[in-house]
Amino acid sequence: MVDREFVANRCICCESDQLHRSPAVLMPFVALRVFGHEPVEITPEWGLRDLRQGTAYTLCNSLQCQECGALFLDYRFTDEQMSALYRDYRGTEYNAQRIRFEPGYVNVVPHYHQRAAYLTQVQAWLAPRLPEAPAVLDWGGDTGVNSLFRDHHRLLHIHDISGVELVPGAERADPELISCTHYDLVTCSQVLEHVAFPADVVRQMLPAIGEGTLLYLEVPHEALVREHPGSLELAPLKRHWHEHVNFFSEEAMRRLLRQLNLELVDVLHLPVDVGWTRGEVLGVLARAL
Ligand SMILES: [Zn+2]
């Protein structure tokens, strides 16, 4: 298991210590919520003889694993910092604070409450491998608005720490009981790019993956990764970090699965165009070895 270090020195997918490093800035919205930092102007009044004047932002490093290509922020936020970052996620205060730093976010807000259209295609890709009405566990599924098979399941359990109200027909998963339930499909979509230790998050789902259970993990296939296939020179090209702190390549996802004794079944590359993500999603389907 990767040590839970605040500044990573091993890959979050394959644990390699062969990391390229390049300086970047943590975007002000994230820096404020996580560290309480605001951009600041260093002026002559500071009296700092040896420093140049100008705007100071929160510095960080972009790291890229030379084994698997995973590209990630060096800071690995603690549980408390994650809570601070996602407190009232997309609520009134959150949105107002974010729009202060990122005026364009105002156009994104309305899309979050609608079900994303591309999910129909993901379901069509999965359906031939599943029973007619599958038993589904959605890990990190928020309200369930974007849960796969939301309208066509035998049961839909949602594990989410936010405690938000669920869509009709969905039930809250009890992590203590997931090993006693037979699931046809366990999903974790648009979560792993946000978390400090993605392998740990997937490890928590393993008790729910029994014989015949399929695991579907979905992350954004970020433009930078997509536009430089197989490149291990991405760190100097990634100059800022926001709430997506992990950029995965297909190889990085393969290595993540292997580390957890999961077998890759299939890979999905799907172009998407919705309010909160434009580009492509990368889905991997796996089962227990
Ligand atoms: Zn790696």
Q: Which residues contact 227 (CB under 8 A, 6 or more apart)?
A: none
pLDDT single digits (tens) 208-232? 999 999 999 999 999 999 999 999 9
CA distance 289 to 284: 15
- Relative orientation angle of helices 250-259 and 198-205, to the nearest 10 degrees: 50
Range of the domain at 270: 115-222+248-288
Indicate the pLDDT class of residue 90, thresholds 50, 70 and 90.
confident
For the chain, percent of residues with pLDDT exceeding 70: 96
Ligand 1 centroid – CA 60 distance (Å):
19
Report the DSSP beta bridge partners of residue 65: 19
Indicate whether 171 belongs to any domain: yes
Interval between CA 249 and ligand 1 midpoint (Å)? 10
Looking up residue 191, the CATH number of its domain turns out to be 3.40.50.150
Residue 222 has what pLDDT? 96
Q: 98-152, pLDDT tens digit by residue?
A: 999 888 888 776 666 788 889 999 999 999 999 999 999 999 998 999 999 999 9
Task: Please determine, for residue 267, whether its predicted confidence score (pLDDT) is greater than 60.
Answer: yes
C-alpha to C-alpha distance for 287 and 289, rounded to whole angstroms: 6
In a domain, 64, yes or no: no
Q: How many residues does the chain have?
A: 289
Domain count along the chain: 1
Distance (angstroms) between ligand 1 centre and the Cα of 232 equals 11
Is 142 inside any structural domain? Answer: yes
**251 CA distance to ligand 1 middle (Å):** 9
Q: What's the gap in Å between 62 CA and the centre of ligand 1?
A: 14
- CA–centroid distance, 1 to ligand 1, in Å, is 13
The one-letter code for the residue type at 224 is L
Is 162 part of a structural domain of the chain?
A: yes
Q: From CA 29, how far away is CA 11, in angstroms rounded? A: 25
Q: How far is the CA of 4 from the centre of ligand 1 (A)?
A: 16
Q: Assess if residue 170 is contained within a domain.
A: yes
Which segments within the chain are labelled E, that is strand?
19-26, 40-42, 54-56, 59-65, 71-73, 135-139, 155-159, 171-172, 185-189, 214-220, 240-241, 246-247, 262-274, 277-288
Whether residue 35 lies inside any domain: the answer is no
Cα of 145 to ligand 1 centre, how many Å? 32
Average of per-residue pLDDT across 267-288: 87
What does the mean pLDDT of the chain come to? 94
Least Cα distance to 66 among 14, 118, 135 occurs for 14
So what's the pLDDT on residue 3?
A: 65
Tell me, yes or no, whether 200 lies in a domain.
yes
Residue 58 lies in a domain: no
Verdict on whether the full-model pTM lies above 0.85: yes
